[in-house]
Amino acid sequence: MLQRLFWIAVGAIGCLVVVISLVCSLILWYPDGVYYWGQRLYFAELQLFSAAPPPPAPAPPPPPDPVELALRNLLGGNIAFNTPEYVLVGKPQIIEAKLGIDVPQDVLINQLAQAGHKEAASIRVADRMRANLSGGAGFDVSPTGAQEQLVSRQEVTSWTWEVTAKQAGTQYLILTVDAVLFIDGKEGVKNINTFTRKIEVAVGWSQTASDWFAWLKGWVENIQWLWLTAIPAGLLIWNRLRRKSPKGAPEAPAKDGASSET
């Protein structure tokens, strides 16, 4: 048994010596080849242990803005309105605005029945629109505030206001049209920047006798409270001044028949 193990160890040592001899021969006779394969093994190990991790997956794009989506869904349309060229103080005028989706601008202008300068413009249209006409301190506008209406794709949508000038001079009317949007189930109003128009109106004095009489009557009615206050106050002051005697007035003469002491 020991002899068998001895010969096995001798064989293993002999194989190891043969392998070492072959390697040394290769190094001596083929140094370039050994260097080449050594480099291949070195770089293979280097790439195996130092390879960079793969890049992370790109982030998903952000969800689209709901307001922008709602604005993109608006339809193209036209709006026409009239502007009074000359307005008398206290005399009401009618202003109209007509909006249509598939209606040309010239058709909308022809449907304006009121006098004045008529113009039209392009506008983006929602299912519900609000129109507001304001005149500041120079006009009384009825109805006041934003007027909301449903917009039809086949029919023309109309707004009408009664405007009465209160001050003489150059005044301004501002017509604003807003879109009513539903975003995430909630209602909101978005002013469409494609249309915000200032309307300049020249307010003049009355030119006819009837207009002057109406203006004078209104003026008298407006200052009626002043007369009701000033007249009684004036009478009271005059009565008090009348009762007071003037300073330094001479004494009244003695009556006839009166005796005087000597």
Cβ atoms of 103 and 78 closer than 8 Å: yes
Cβ atoms of 108 and 155 closer than 8 Å: no
In a domain, 108, yes or no: yes
User: Can you tell me the distance from the alpha carbon of 125 to that of 179, in angstroms, rounded to the nearest whole number?
Assistant: 7
- Looking at residue 15, its pLDDT comes to 76
Within 133-243, residue ranges assigned H as helices are 209-222, 224-243
User: Can you tell me the distance from the alpha carbon of 135 to that of 31, in angstroms, rounded to the nearest whole number?
Assistant: 100
Q: What is the 3-state secondary structure (H, E, C) of 236-257?
A: HHHHHHHHCCCCCCCCCCCCCC
Q: At 197, list the tokens.
A: 């128009």
- Expressed as residue numbers, the domain containing 178 is 75-204
Q: What is the pLDDT of residues 25-79, one digit of tens each?
A: 655 555 555 455 555 555 555 555 555 667 888 888 888 888 888 888 899 999 9
- Looking at residue 13, its pLDDT comes to 75
User: Can you tell me the distance from the alpha carbon of 57 to that of 1, in angstroms, rounded to the nearest whole number?
Assistant: 66
Contacts of 31 (CB under 8 A, 6+ apart): none
- Looking at residue 103, its pLDDT comes to 94
- Looking at residue 37, its pLDDT comes to 53
Backbone angles phi, psi at 109, to 5 degrees: -65, -40
Q: Give the total number of structural domains in the chain.
A: 1
Count of positions (residues) in the chain: 262
H/E stretch holding 166 reads none
**Which residues of the chain, if any, have pLDDT below 50?**
34, 249, 251-252, 254-262
In a domain, 18, yes or no: no
In a domain, 245, yes or no: no
- CATH classification at residue 79: 2.60.40.10
End-to-end CA distance of the chain: 194
- Whole-model pTM: value is 0.55
In a domain, 149, yes or no: yes
In a domain, 110, yes or no: yes
∠ at Cα 207 (202, 210), nearest 5°?
125
In a domain, 137, yes or no: yes
- Looking at residue 90, its pLDDT comes to 81
- Looking at residue 258, its pLDDT comes to 43
In a domain, 9, yes or no: no
In a domain, 172, yes or no: yes
